[in-house]
């Protein structure tokens, strides 16, 4: 970092990215040099007795030894220079481009020699010798094949780091800085759209596929606009952010221990839920989370039970249902109703109580089920979360769109992809009129909407759309995405939306704002770090296996910035002055103004945040247990920073959320039993 400039263009690699590839090639080249030296010792003298091709063979052996030695020397120099300096210290690696250029030009004589070796190894009449050892021929044949494979890998590597917009003309400012930046932004957006159309060719036929491609392409282009980051910089930045965030967490915990303030988190469920409505409880949350998981259908059963999932589903499938009458109104399932079988198995609900199920899955169109839940006396709409690539495009269509519903402020904004999903579910419910029919059949029942992840966000927006007709409805949302609703609208949902989040769940912190802040954090940490990139990546591998050692929390950062104030080497323009107000400061984050999102979106509902509890010294010493989790009522502002943590993905998975709720309730029952 910054991106490597070679042959008059920019590449998707930096001058400090060549350490590990170089070490790998040095190892392999050294091995082949040793083998070719052995061939020279054993076979060279015999080549003088060849009746044909002896000079040819000697030239190849000596030439290959000399070339391998030269390549190894160049690689050692390349690795040595590439390992110099910190990530932003480009001056320490100024010799990398000319050394790399020399290495690339050595491919020409290597190709010529490899052609000679190929002819010797595979053309029987070219060389005629009375003695040609089996070992020598095997080594030469293997070396030839390896060299061609290495040449192919080099071409593949160049294709991977090739930047289609790396030409100098896209980086030169032509008339004004804004005009040059706008040109590149349009080109990058167009490039991402072409990539999506090629990679996801089956999606583009969907009704909303083109719009989703366009929105996601614009988002990806805007996030790293005017930066000079390469993929390895982002990976190294995430490792550094993990260390930085752990250091900050440790300091905050130390401050809280020294202060006399009451701890934010508590293990006392009675105290936590004393200030909440009665319907907001963990028993109900666990129950409706099971129905949310059931909405995922058969893929979730196969994922949850990898070895036995098929046998579990076999008991619930309806063979040849296309030719048999169905008790449940099901659309877009297969002929054996496998999705419905998954719903029945996970929910433990009879098929007669599944009143309607739609499994249509396209961009902005999510599967959902309508269930008569006799256990809680509710009609339940369970909306599926993200499980397919189409769902991912719905998630990533994250621009803010005006959202209108009765009782909302007139300027309410919401996540566009989820707004489209809520509109689709509302339209399908109206077409089949299933809610009115269900509530007419069960007049004493209430209405509950539930979902996990994407399904949770759509459930919250759907509830806002239909609440004027069903004012007593409730929403149980799990791992709801952060960038869902504007703040005033999110506050209104606290009366009827119960949101549950666990630990370091990254989706609960995932929004356009938090992604832009993550980009800014990566830039800042890369600039502050004093370690070379290869050390950071090695440390990151160790952190993943053994955790972050305490000494690394203090030794990873520079004491002060090395560059001039107001300028970052990762950006193509100056850093604007930090705004005075808290909101403006959160939006700009010291580096640059917002590129894609001008409206901040928040998580909906009243948020219960559950985290793992650290045992006290007394508990560890005595070997006693104590509660495994503690919790608190959080605010939407608590989830505006995207944290890089080991469990950021695991804490989002629905089965882990369910396990957490089940553990909390089981431990509560055990505590009550001990008291009795």
Question: Which 3-state string (H, E, C) describes 626-666?
Answer: CCCEEEEEECHHHHCCCCCCCCCCHHHCHHHHHHHHHHHHH
Model confidence at 91: pLDDT above 70: yes
Confidence of residue 1 (pLDDT cuts 50, 70, 90): low
What integer pLDDT is reported at residue 327 of this predicted model? 64
How far is CA 645 from each of CA 155, 478, 659, rounded to the nearest angstrom?
A: 36, 19, 20
Confidence of residue 52 (pLDDT cuts 50, 70, 90): confident
CATH topology of domain 262-511+652-675: Rossmann fold (3.40.50)
Distance CA 536, CA 434 (A): 56
Model confidence at 567: pLDDT above 90: no
Within 10 Å of residue 45's Cβ, how many Cβ atoms?
10
The answer to whether the CB of 36 falls within 8 A of the CB of 68 is: yes
How much of the chain is in helix, strand and coil states, percent to nearest 5? 55, 10, 35
Max mean pLDDT among 80-89, 322-331, 369-378 falls in 369-378
Model confidence at 59: pLDDT above 50: yes
DSSP assignment letter at 599 = S
Higher pLDDT, 591 or 111: 111
Q: Which of 303, 267, 283 is nearest to 654 (CA)?
A: 303
The answer to whether the CB of 631 falls within 8 A of the CB of 658 is: no
Q: Which of 545, 624, 265, 596 is nearest to 398 (CA)?
A: 596
Confidence of residue 511 (pLDDT cuts 50, 70, 90): confident
The answer to whether the CB of 293 falls within 8 A of the CB of 346 is: yes
What integer pLDDT is reported at residue 35 of this predicted model? 87
What integer pLDDT is reported at residue 620 of this predicted model? 63
Higher pLDDT, 319 or 175: 319
Q: SS3 string of 63-89?
A: HHHHHHHHHHHHHHHHHHHHCCCCCCC
Distance CA 500, CA 611 (A): 11
Higher pLDDT, 193 or 405: 405
Of the given ranges (78-87, 133-142, 351-360, 496-505), which has the lowest mean pLDDT? 133-142
Tokens 């002819």 sit on residue: 119
Confidence of residue 582 (pLDDT cuts 50, 70, 90): very low
What integer pLDDT is reported at residue 197 of this predicted model? 73
The answer to whether the CB of 181 falls within 8 A of the CB of 225 is: yes
Q: Where are the alpha helices (DSSP H) in 9-53?
A: 19-43
Confidence of residue 225 (pLDDT cuts 50, 70, 90): low
* Host H or E run for residue 446: strand 446-452
Model confidence at 591: pLDDT above 90: no
At residue 286, what are phi and psi to the nearest 5 degrees? -65, -40
Distance CA 218, CA 211 (A): 11
The answer to whether the CB of 443 falls within 8 A of the CB of 476 is: no
Higher pLDDT, 174 or 149: 149
Give 649-668 pLDDT, tens digit per residue: 999 999 999 999 999 999 88
How far is CA 669 from each of CA 425, 502, 613, rounded to the nearest angstrom?
A: 38, 21, 18
What integer pLDDT is reported at residue 475 of this predicted model? 98
Distance CA 354, CA 335 (A): 18
- Indicate the burial class of 567 (C-beta count within 10 angstroms; 0-12, 13-18, 19 or more): exposed
* Host H or E run for residue 474: strand 474-478
Model confidence at 533: pLDDT above 70: yes
What integer pLDDT is reported at residue 295 of this predicted model? 96
Within 10 Å of residue 374's Cβ, how many Cβ atoms?
12
- Indicate the burial class of 312 (C-beta count within 10 angstroms; 0-12, 13-18, 19 or more): middle
Please tell me whether residue 28 adopts helix, strand or coil conformation.
helix
Q: Please give the structure tokens belonging to residue 58.
A: 């000697």
Mean pLDDT over 210-216 rounds to: 77
Mean pLDDT over 570-599 rounds to: 45
Q: Please give the structure tokens belonging to residue 576.
A: 């604007």
Within 10 Å of residue 377's Cβ, how many Cβ atoms?
12
Confidence of residue 172 (pLDDT cuts 50, 70, 90): very low
Model confidence at 544: pLDDT above 50: yes
* Lateral strand order in the sheet of 354-358: 329-331, 354-358, 368-373, 378-383, 446-452, 474-478, 497-502, 606-612, 629-634
The answer to whether the CB of 498 falls within 8 A of the CB of 674 is: no
Confidence of residue 205 (pLDDT cuts 50, 70, 90): low
- Indicate the burial class of 471 (C-beta count within 10 angstroms; 0-12, 13-18, 19 or more): exposed
Mean pLDDT over 112-122 rounds to: 82
What integer pLDDT is reported at residue 186 of this predicted model? 75
Q: Where are the alpha helices (DSSP H) in 163-281?
A: 177-199, 209-223, 231-258, 269-273
Q: Please give the structure tokens belonging to residue 337.
A: 């109703």
Model confidence at 530: pLDDT above 90: no
**Average pLDDT, rounded, for the chain:** 83
DSSP of 514-533: HHHHHHHHHHHHHHHB-S-H
Give 236-272 pLDDT, tens digit per residue: 998 998 888 888 888 877 777 776 666 788 888 989 9
Please tell me whether residue 675 adopts helix, strand or coil conformation.
helix
Distance CA 60, CA 39 (A): 11
What integer pLDDT is reported at residue 573 of this predicted model? 40
Higher pLDDT, 591 or 62: 62
What integer pLDDT is reported at residue 326 of this predicted model? 63
Distance CA 474, CA 446 (A): 8
Tokens 């929004």 sit on residue: 511
The answer to whether the CB of 395 falls within 8 A of the CB of 461 is: no
Higher pLDDT, 268 or 55: 268
The answer to whether the CB of 485 falls within 8 A of the CB of 462 is: no
What integer pLDDT is reported at residue 596 of this predicted model? 64
At residue 304, what are phi and psi to the nearest 5 degrees? -70, -35
The answer to whether the CB of 36 falls within 8 A of the CB of 137 is: no
Higher pLDDT, 440 or 328: 440
E strands in 244-386: 329-331, 354-358, 368-373, 378-383
Within 10 Å of residue 524's Cβ, how many Cβ atoms?
20
Q: Please give the structure tokens belonging to residue 559.
A: 């004491």
The whole-angstrom distance between residue 97's C-alpha and the CA centroid of its chain comes to 32
Of the given ranges (46-60, 242-256, 342-356, 437-451), which has the lowest mean pLDDT? 46-60
What integer pLDDT is reported at residue 248 of this predicted model? 82
Of the given ranges (49-53, 349-353, 447-451, 590-594), which has the lowest mean pLDDT? 590-594
What integer pLDDT is reported at residue 133 of this predicted model? 63
Rounded to whole angstroms, the maximal C-alpha distance in the chain is 103
pTM to 2 decimals? Answer: 0.83
What integer pLDDT is reported at residue 462 of this predicted model? 97
Max mean pLDDT among 169-183, 245-259, 545-559 falls in 245-259
What integer pLDDT is reported at residue 177 of this predicted model? 47
Distance CA 673, CA 676 (A): 5
What integer pLDDT is reported at residue 277 of this predicted model? 94
The answer to whether the CB of 392 falls within 8 A of the CB of 421 is: no
Confidence of residue 182 (pLDDT cuts 50, 70, 90): low
Give 441-479 pLDDT, tens digit per residue: 999 999 999 999 999 999 999 999 999 999 999 999 999
What integer pLDDT is reported at residue 2 of this predicted model? 78
CA angle, 622 then 624 then 629, to 5° = 135
Percent of the chain whose pLDDT exceeds 70: 83
């Amino acid at each position: 970092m910054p991106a490597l400039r070679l042959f008059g263009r920019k590449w998707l690699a930096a001058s400090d990215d060549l350490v590990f590839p170089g070490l790998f090639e040095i190892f392999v080249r050294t091995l082949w040099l040793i083998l070719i030296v052995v061939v020279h010792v054993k076979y060279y003298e015999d080549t003088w007795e060849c009746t044909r091709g002896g000079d040819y063979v000697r030239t190849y052996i000596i030439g290959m030894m000399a070339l391998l030695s030269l390549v190894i020397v160049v690689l050692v120099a390349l690795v040595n220079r590439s390992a110099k300096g910190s990530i932003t210290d480009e001056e320490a690696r100024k010799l990398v481009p000319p050394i790399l250029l020399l290495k690339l030009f050595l491919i020409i004589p290597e190709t010529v020699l490899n052609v000679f070796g190929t002819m010797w190894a595979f053309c029987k009449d070219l060389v005629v010798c009375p003695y040609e050892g089996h070992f020598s021929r095997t080594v030469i044949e293997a070396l030839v094949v390896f060299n061609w494979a290495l040449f192919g890998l080099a071409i593949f590597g160049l294709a991977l780091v090739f930047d289609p917009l790396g030409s100098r003309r896209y980086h030169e400012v032509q008339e004004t800085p804004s005009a040059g930046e706008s040109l590149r932004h349009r080109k990058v957006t167009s490039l991402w759209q072409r990539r999506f159309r090629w990679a996801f060719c089956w999606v583009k036929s969907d009704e909303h596929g083109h719009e989703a491609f366009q929105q996601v392409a614009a988002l990806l282009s805007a996030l790293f606009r005017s930066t000079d980051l390469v993929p390895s910089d982002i990976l190294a930045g995430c490792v550094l952010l993990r260390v930085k965030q752990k250091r900050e967490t440790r300091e905050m915990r130390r401050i809280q221990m020294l202060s006399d303030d009451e701890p934010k988190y508590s293990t006392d469920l009675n105290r936590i839920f004393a200030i909440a409505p009665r319907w907001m409880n963990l028993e109900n949350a666990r129950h409706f989370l099971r129905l949310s998981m059931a909405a995922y259908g058969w893929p979730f059963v196969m994922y949850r039970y990898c070895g036995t999932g098929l046998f579990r589903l076999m008991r619930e499938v309806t063979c040849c249902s296309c030719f048999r009458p169905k008790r449940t109104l099901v659309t877009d399932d297969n002929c054996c109703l496998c999705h419905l079988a998954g719903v029945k198995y996970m929910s433990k609900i009879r098929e007669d109580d599944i009143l309607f199920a739609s499994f249509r899955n396209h961009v902005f169109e999510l599967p959902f089920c309508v269930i008569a839940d006799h256990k809680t006396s509710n009609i339940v709409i369970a909306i599926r979360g993200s499980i397919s690539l189409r769902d991912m495009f719905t998630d990533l269509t994250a621009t803010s769109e005006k959202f209108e519903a009765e009782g909302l402020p007139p300027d309410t904004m919401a996540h566009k992809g989820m707004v489209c999903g809520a509109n689709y579910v509302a339209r399908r419910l109206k077409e089949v009129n299933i809610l009115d029919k269900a509530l007419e059949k069960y007049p004493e029942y209430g209405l509950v909407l539930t979902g996990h992840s994407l399904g949770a966000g759509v459930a919250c927006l759907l509830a806002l759309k239909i609440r004027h007709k069903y004012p007593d409805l409730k929403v149980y949302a799990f791992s709801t995405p952060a960038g869902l609703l504007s703040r005033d609208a999110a506050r209104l949902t606290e009366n009827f939306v119960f949101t549950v989040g666990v630990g370091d769940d990254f989706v609960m912190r995932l929004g356009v704002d938090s992604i832009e802040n993550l980009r800014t954090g990566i830039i800042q940490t890369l600039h502050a770090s004093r370690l070379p990139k290869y050390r950071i990546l090695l440390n990151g591998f160790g952190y993943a296996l053994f955790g972050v050692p305490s000494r690394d929390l203090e030794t990873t950062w520079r004491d002060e910035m090395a560059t001039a104030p107001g300028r970052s080497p990762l950006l193509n323009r100056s850093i604007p002055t930090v705004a005075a107000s808290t909101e403006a400061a959160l939006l700009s984050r010291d580096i640059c103004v917002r590129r894609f999102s001008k409206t901040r979106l928040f998580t909906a509902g009243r948020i219960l945040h559950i985290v793992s509890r650290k045992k006290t010294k007394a508990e560890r010493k005595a070997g006693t247990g104590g509660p495994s989790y503690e919790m608190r009522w959080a605010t939407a502002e608590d989830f505006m920073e995207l944290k890089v943590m080991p469990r950021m993905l695991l804490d989002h998975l629905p089965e882990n959320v369910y396990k957490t709720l089940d553990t909390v309730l089981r431990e509560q029952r055990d505590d009550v039993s001990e008291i009795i």
